[in-house]
């Protein structure tokens, strides 16, 4: 046994010695035969970064216009970064709402983002032309019903706008000639963007009196984009800025490139706009005076007062608040907005608050 163990040890040791004495590597042999060609891969995208990110692409202009817009600079994401608001005031909330179809579980973003390119467009999802597609296309059924029926906004690409720029429910709300109504929240109203409802002429606070017009010449096929995204003035209005007012050497100037689709005479157009805005501002001032006299409106805060008021006075306030928040000075629906104000003023007179314009 001992002799066998010694022999085995000797063989192993010899192997180590042979390995350590291995000579240098020989020359490289010739390449082998070329292998078979692999299967064809999936086709790549037809667009690359440079197709959009180049000096002549409209992306640069669109981004510059947007950077000067209220959507970019309004600060909305910061002050409205809370439940019930994030779905319209932050980019993350809007996209999360689209994905989930409900506000029930929307998270509050730690770093809220303003509305931006990727909020409205499917940017960098396919790296193809479909990246320009809208994130919320299709007709919008508005949140607030009219005469008990659903109201639908279906106006092309402006459907994206109407998702946020519409009235919010006021619940509970007073009934025409109904019981006295208790206002418990000073912020009672349709919220900041009741535009779609006014353009369609379907708001829930109509008071009896003059017949409300059923048609609106400014309710165009393309809706908001007709004027708000018309041929721009640099980066300051129109296009992806979406504003219609801009500073022109210290003078506030209205962009009218959308108006000229129908109004070809610039002088006549300016007169029409001035006459309408003066009339609406006058009616708003008169109604505000009545609401202050009724102690339902606080001009210092711009909000309602809490307390119990006549139902028609509350409806008159809601019409005032709706038109103030619309911020078009009647342009979104001239005839309908005039009638809302005339009937509201008349309702306040009937309650004993004189019309200061008479």
DSSP-derived 3-state class of residue 263: coil
Longest dimension (CA), the chain: 133
Paired sense of beta strands 152-153 and 140-141, if any: antiparallel
CA 127 to each of CA 8, 46, 52, 122, 123: distance values in angstroms, whole numbers, following the listed order: 68, 8, 10, 9, 8
Indicate the burial class of 334 (C-beta count within 10 angstroms; 0-12, 13-18, 19 or more): buried
Task: State the pLDDT at residue 7.
Answer: 46
What are residue 155's DSSP bridge partners? none
Task: State the pLDDT at residue 18.
Answer: 47
User: Nearest Cα to 279, choosing from 337, 218, 213?
Assistant: 337
Task: State the pLDDT at residue 46.
Answer: 55
Domain boundaries, the chain: 56-132, 140-217+262-350
- Contacts of residue 269, Cβ cutoff 8 Å, sequence gap at least 6: 256, 259, 260, 263
- pTM as predicted: 0.84
Indicate the burial class of 303 (C-beta count within 10 angstroms; 0-12, 13-18, 19 or more): middle
Between CA 203 and CA 129 the distance in angstroms is: 38
Per-residue pLDDT for the chain (358 aa), expressed as one digit of tens each? 444 555 445 444 445 444 445 566 777 777 777 777 777 666 555 566 777 777 788 888 999 999 999 999 988 899 899 998 999 999 999 999 999 988 888 999 999 999 999 999 999 888 888 888 999 999 999 999 999 999 999 999 999 999 999 999 999 999 999 999 999 999 999 999 999 999 999 999 999 999 999 999 999 999 999 999 999 999 999 999 999 999 999 999 999 999 998 999 989 999 999 999 999 999 999 999 999 999 999 999 999 999 999 999 999 999 999 999 999 999 999 999 999 999 999 999 999 999 999 8
Both structure tokens of 100:
């989930």
User: Nearest Cα to 69, choosing from 199, 229, 219?
Assistant: 229
Task: State the pLDDT at residue 127.
Answer: 83
Task: State the pLDDT at residue 34.
Answer: 77
Task: State the pLDDT at residue 41.
Answer: 61
Contact 195, 140 (CB under 8 A): no
């Amino acid at each position: 046994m001992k002799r066998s163990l010694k022999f085995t040890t000797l063989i192993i040791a010899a192997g180590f010695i042979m390995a350590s004495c291995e000579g240098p590597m020989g020359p490289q042999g010739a390449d082998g035969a070329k292998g078979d060609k692999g299967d064809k891969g999936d086709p790549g995208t037809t667009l690359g970064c440079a197709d959009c990110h180049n000096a002549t692409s409209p992306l640069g202009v669109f981004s510059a216009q947007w950077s000067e817009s209220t959507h970019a600079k309004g600060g909305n994401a910061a002050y409205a970064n809370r439940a019930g608001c994030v779905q319209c005031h932050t980019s993350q909330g809007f996209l999360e709402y689209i994905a989930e179809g409900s506000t029930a579980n929307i998270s509050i973003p730690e770093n809220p983002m303003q509305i931006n390119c990727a909020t409205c467009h499917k940017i960098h999802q396919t790296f193809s032309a479909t990246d320009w597609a809208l994130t919320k296309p299709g007709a919008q059924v508005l949140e607030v019903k009219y005469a008990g029926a659903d109201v639908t906004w279906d106006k092309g690409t402006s459907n994206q706008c109407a998702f946020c720029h519409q009235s919010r429910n006021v619940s509970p709300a007073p009934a025409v000639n109904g019981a006295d109504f208790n206002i418990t929240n000073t912020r009672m109203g349709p919220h900041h963007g009741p535009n779609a409802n006014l353009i369609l002429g379907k708001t829930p606070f109509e008071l009896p009196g003059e017949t409300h017009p059923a048609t609106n010449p400014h309710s165009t096929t393309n809706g908001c984009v007709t004027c708000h995204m018309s041929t721009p003035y640099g980066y300051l209005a129109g296009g992806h800025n979406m504003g219609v007012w801009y500073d022109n050497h210290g003078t506030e100037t209205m962009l009218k490139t959308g108006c000229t689709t129908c109004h070809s005479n610039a002088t006549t157009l300016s007169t029409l706009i001035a006459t309408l805005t003066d009339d609406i501002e006058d009616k708003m001032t008169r109604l505000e005076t009545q609401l202050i006299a009724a102690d339902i409106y606080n001009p210092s805060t711009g909000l309602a007062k809490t307390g119990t008021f006549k139902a028609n006075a509350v409806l008159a306030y809601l019409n005032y608040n709706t038109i103030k928040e619309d911020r078009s000075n009647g342009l979104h629906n001239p005839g309908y907005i005039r009638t809302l104000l005339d009937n509201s003023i008349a309702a306040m007179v009937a309650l004993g608050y004189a019309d200061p314009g008479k």
